[in-house]
Structure 1
Amino acid sequence: MNPTDEIEDYFDGKPDSLAIFEAIVDTAEQHGEFDITVKRQISFGRTRKFAWFWLYNVTKKNPDGIPHLMLAIDHPIDTPHVRSVEQIGKQRWNHQIVIRSLDDANSTWLAELIGLAHDYGAG
């Protein structure tokens, strides 16, 4: 199965979440090439992985799920847009972001964070 089919399966019946994911992919592509791997999460990688996307629906109130994005960056970013930051290596901080709307997915602040993560992925 190719990544396009896997992505379609991942978002089956979840058009709003798919639109958000596609906006994030478009933004990441503006920063250069990367590979996508689809498993329980969708990961973006270059020399190393730099982003992970998944849908969270613990309350089952949102059939589309709530899009989450984790970005690996070489330093912590303090912004209200980031839900949590965790240092998991000497020069790696994971930044968890809840993407609440298509406007968030297309925002300048998210594009800047994705750019930093894309640079981190170069190794």
Structure 2
Amino acid sequence: MTEAVPGPAAPGPTPEDFFAGSPAGLAVHRRVAEVLQEAGGAQVRVGRSQVTFRRRRGFAWLWRPGRYLRGPVAEVVLSVALGRPDPSPRWKQVVHPSGRHWVHHLEVRDPAEIDGEVAGWLREAAGRAG
């Protein structure tokens, strides 16, 4: 009887896989990754439903609402976990899933929308995540 010898793990999905068919979504991902690299970096994990940016824990997520919602939607949504509610009118929705976290959802149609204000939110969220 022979034993199966485990080989190297198959590589997981990439951001390019996740945003296949969505050049704007991939461009937004690249812009967010660039901002976070300038802020000290973050790990990127690609799942079936979202791309997660994390340090000790996740702090920002990109997802494609067109996969889940009907009607006209943004190409991609950036969700950012802050320790406070932010009053900016740019947020589509702000939710309070736990006592220490407020998750803010920003509809993004163009990578240029990841501007200085959004970069500030991302730096704040990354700092809280370790």
Verify: 1:31 aligned to 2:39, yes or no: yes
Once residues 16 and 25 of structure 2 are traced to their aligned partners in structure 1, the CA distance between those partners, rounded to angstroms, is: 11
Deviation at 1:101, TM superposition (A): 1.5
Provide, for residues 10-57 of structure 1, a one-character-per-residue CA deviation record: whole Å limited to 9, x for no partner.
Answer: 122221211111001101111112111111100011111101111111
Verify: 1:85 aligned to 2:94, yes or no: yes
Q: Tell whether the 8 Å contact from 2:54 to 2:60 is kept in structure 1 after alignment.
A: yes
Which range is displaced more, 51-60 or 93-102?
51-60
Instruction: Say which SS state the counterpart of residue 90 (structure 2) adopts.
Output: coil
Unaligned runs of 5+ residues in structure 2 are 1-9
Instruction: Say which SS state the counterpart of residue 18 (structure 1) adopts.
Output: helix
Once residues 90 and 72 of structure 2 are traced to their aligned partners in structure 1, the CA distance between those partners, rounded to angstroms, is: 23
Unaligned runs of 5+ residues in structure 1 are none
Verify: 1:41 aligned to 2:56, yes or no: no
Verify: 1:22 aligned to 2:34, yes or no: no
- 2:116 is matched with which residue? 108
State percent identity of aligned pairs. 23
TM-score (norm 1): 0.85
- 1:98 is matched with which residue? 107
Q: Max radius of gyration: which structure?
A: 2
Structure of higher RCO (CA pairs closer than 8 Å, 6+ residues apart): 1
The count of corresponding residues between Structure 1 and Structure 2 is 118
Q: 1:114 to 1:89 in 2, by over 3 A?
A: same
Provide, for residues 53-76 of structure 1, a one-character-per-residue CA deviation record: whole Å limited to 9, x for no partner.
Answer: 1111134768xx621011111111
TM-score (norm 2): 0.81
